[in-house]
Amino acid sequence: MTTTLIFVRHCEADGNINRVFHGHTDSQISENGRRQLLLLSDRFKSVRFDRICSSPLIRAMLTAQAVNSSLMLPIEPCGGLIEINGGHWEGKRWRDLPFLYPQESYDWAKAPHNFSPEGGESMRRLRERISRTAADIAGRNTGKTIVCVSHGCAIRNLICWAKGMPIERLDEVPWGENTAVSILEFDEHMRPGLVLENDCSHLSDEVKTLARQDWWKKDKLEEMFY
């Protein structure tokens, strides 16, 4: 019996367009984010699922509401789906981080598996948390389909785990667009498999976030942080 978890990244938020680190910071969504949600809602009109869970942050909960607009199920807040806690990175402009925290910035760009911000959550702990959360949700909902709304860094770690890759290969996993959809299927032994990765086919080019930015490209990361 297959258990399906549909992971959705939240829509575009203030931190995404202003290029400010928002992990646990609870920022509002952008106007373009609202346009993304309309397209996401259309995508999910024909999708049937049994439950919907979401990170408790505003950008995720609003995304969950769009996914849920047809079925109108209770949205269940889940702290395990929240984004990485950036500690003293929270609220800082990305362009300032290499000067404020050079070693941590180097790790983020060149060795993300070693990233561990002061006062925050290490990348290794995030991977443990998000994979444990996914496995727990699947284990409590055998044979069902569950939507989980989460965040970019968290989902990137989840995909790395679902592919059976060690965290040292995290930099091989691409970033997903805002509102991108990824699907994990768990078999009867609760072994995960990735069947869809960061699909954003519901988005038109003009509303995509990453398509209008270049920070996520490897050469740009190295240029910014190293």
CATH of the domain at 176: 3.40.50.1240
Q: Does the pLDDT at position 218 exceed 60?
A: no
Mean confidence (pLDDT) of the chain: 94
List, for residues 37-47, the tens digit of each pLDDT value.
999 999 999 99
pLDDT reported for residue 224: 54
Q: Does the pLDDT at position 216 exceed 80?
A: no
Domain of 71 in residue numbering reads as 3-225
| Residue from 9, 30, 148, 21 nearest 79 by CA | 148
Domain count, the chain: 1
Model pTM score: 0.94
CA separation (Å) from 27 to 132, 196, 206?
26, 28, 22
CA separation (Å) from 30 to 121, 153, 156?
26, 19, 22
List, for residues 137-179, the tens digit of each pLDDT value.
999 999 999 999 999 999 999 999 999 999 999 999 999 999 9
